[in-house]
Amino acid sequence: MAILITGGSKGIGRAIAASFAEQAGDVFINYHGDDGAAAEAKAEVEQRGARCHLIKQDVGTPAGAGAVLDAVAAHTDRLDQLVHCAVRGISQPVLEVDPVAFTSAVNLNGTALLYLVQAARPLLRRGSTVFFLSSRGGRTVVPNYAAIGVAKALAESLVRYLAVELAPLGVRINCVAPGVVDTAAVRDLFGDQAEAVVKHAAETNPSGRGVQAEDYTNLIRFLASPEAAFIQGQMIFVNGGHYVAA
């Protein structure tokens, strides 16, 4: 089995890489800048028994996404799982954000899903699955979250369009949206308030705790399995019911 995770060196992406490492032969981790975090992620994946390949590249452009998939194709002729969770936040009100930076962020956070799927198409086979990591910010307004939230909304719609074209090929695509998770992206977005935000999310969750890595990695592994063969083009929240009540 071969899996590619964009943004796989930290946070949610790293947890997914580690989760699949025990059953995957090749784990491809795409990252953009932090070599130290990438090396740590690689060591964790290899300790769990998989071969880990680091690909340093910005997937926010068609050329960048193409370069990543070229690197994958140098090692395998089949990609079983493609997971897009690379993200770039801009912690500013949308009326104040630089439009060029905003567009670049939206391309990485959302439109890159299209770039990646198009570039990966020669490697996708019947039974392959594609995942996009979304969040509630794609459907409700979160302060200073527009560069991510708008992109998440775009990609959720794109998933539905891609599902219709991928389904006849035997390839599935779905969105998974964990609740608030203590990640570098959350800390960058909320700054000094990040710890309080994560704590509040856990304390107010109807299920009595915050989101744990196993909550979303177990779901993704199930969705990637033959048992989930007829789940296509869906958006699934993993949050213990946190957003059910107003």
CATH of the domain at 142: 3.40.50.720
In this prediction the pTM is: 0.92
Q: What is the pLDDT of residues 137-156, one digit of tens each?
A: 888 888 888 999 999 999 99
User: Which runs of consecutive H residues, i.e. helices, occur in the chain?
Assistant: 11-21, 35-47, 62-73, 99-106, 112-120, 146-166, 184-190, 194-203, 213-223
Over pLDDT 90: what percentage of the chain? 75
243 in any annotated domain? no
What's the confidence (pLDDT) of residue 166?
98
Total number of domains constituting the chain: 1
What's the confidence (pLDDT) of residue 246?
53
Q: Which amino acid is at 191?
A: G
Q: Which domain holds residue 156?
A: 2-238
Tokens of 14: 């790293």
Tokens of 116: 């990646």
What's the confidence (pLDDT) of residue 63?
98
187 in any annotated domain? yes
175 in any annotated domain? yes
146 in any annotated domain? yes
Tokens of 74: 């140098």
For residues 53-61, average pLDDT: 97
- The catalytic residue positions are 145, 152
Tokens of 229: 């063969």
125 in any annotated domain? yes
87 in any annotated domain? yes
245 in any annotated domain? no
Tokens of 176: 């998974």
246 in any annotated domain? no
